[in-house]
Amino acid sequence: MPTDPIPVIVNRHGGAAGRLGNRLRPALEDAFAAAGLAADIQLIEGKDIPAAVRARRDSPLVVVGGGDGTLGCAANELAGGPAALGILPLGTRNHLALALDVPAMLPDAVKLFADPQVRAIDIVRVNGRAFVNNASIGFYPVMVEGRDARREGHSVPKWVAAIPASVDALRRLRHHRLRLSHDAGDNAVVTPMLFVGNNRYSLEAGRIGKRNALDKGMMSVFAVASHRRLALIGFALRTLVGRADMAADFAELTETATLTVEGRSRHVRIALDGEVTRLRMPLRFEMLAGGLRVVAPLSVATA
């Protein structure tokens, strides 16, 4: 059991963290006290997460609270170092926490740090920026920007803001001409959305968007085939029920340990774990196999 205060760094505006408001610090203090753990708690802005994590990267354990974008920032700082990342699922969807079977309830998640079980998982870097789940260019980043703008203007939940944002993104839809270089060779594609996942994402019915493993050292690459707007809606609906046509619906569908994406633009909007930024082309994706140590139940499937 850790004896020194555990550094606990929380994005106070993360989904669940933001909803707790003034109750966030007491909730954290109570959860750590109930687990018999001393904690050095910092509640900070999302933009300050990288520096705060970097300052504690030599600690044996650094606990970070927030959504997947926050955890991606932390992973970028901790990758390859001695510290294990402890996860507090205080974002909106908490995909990484779900994949690692980290309990959703704060007191249960904190109990994992009393007797930490550490395992190594993969992360991916693209042009020096890490992500723990996935990256995408095209339709999705445009939708996210529209959704977040609506949330700021109208203070509505993400899922509500996503509906008009998706309609607007379809209206503004453009197709990207890209060249993909990966383990199987080169392929020129025209696509409204390129998706790159950390390990294999399922397209099977009942398991859409899920991963069986986070430690196989492979990226999954999906380039949606060029379609008109209405056809894209049909593609989305088929995919949601696990009935995507692999040959007709994707211009590229592969798994690879290496990936370079070239295009006509000098810069491109890219969503990294749901956070949109601009990166210079070409995009060079680097798989860091086993590059991140995390605290998680060791019973999680790795096959």
Give the tens place of pLDDT for each residue, 180-213: 999 999 999 999 999 999 999 988 777 778 898 9
Give the tens place of pLDDT for each residue, 52-78: 999 999 999 999 999 999 999 999 999
Per-residue pLDDT at 168:
74
Query: For residue 236, what is the domain's CATH number?
Result: 2.60.200.40
Give the tens place of pLDDT for each residue, 140-189: 888 877 777 777 666 677 667 766 767 776 777 788 999 999 999 999 99
281 and 189 assigned to the same domain: yes
Per-residue pLDDT at 302:
44
Q: Return all residues near 94 (Cβ < 8 A) that are at least 6 apart.
A: 16, 67, 68, 102, 104
The 10 Å Cβ neighbour count of residue 198 is 29
Per-residue pLDDT at 62:
98
289: which DSSP letter? Answer: E
Q: pTM, whole model, 2 decimals?
A: 0.88
Distance CA 270, CA 32 (A): 36
Residue with tokens 């992500």: 131
238 and 144 assigned to the same domain: yes
Query: For residue 27, what is the domain's CATH number?
Result: 3.40.50.10330
| Residue 129 belongs to some domain of the structure | no
Residue type for position 296: A
User: Which domain range does residue 209 map to?
Assistant: 134-287
Give the tens place of pLDDT for each residue, 228-252: 776 666 767 677 677 777 777 888 8
176 and 278 assigned to the same domain: yes
Q: Among the residues of 5-113, which ranges form H helices?
A: 15-20, 24-34, 49-55, 68-78, 95-99, 106-111
How much of the chain, in percent, has pLDDT values that exceed 70?
89
CA 227 vs CA 18, 34, 192, 233: distances in Å: 38, 54, 8, 9
Annotate 259-283 with DSSP letters as a single string. EEEEESSSEEEEEETTEEEEEESSE
For the chain, the C-alpha Rg in angstroms (whole number) is 19
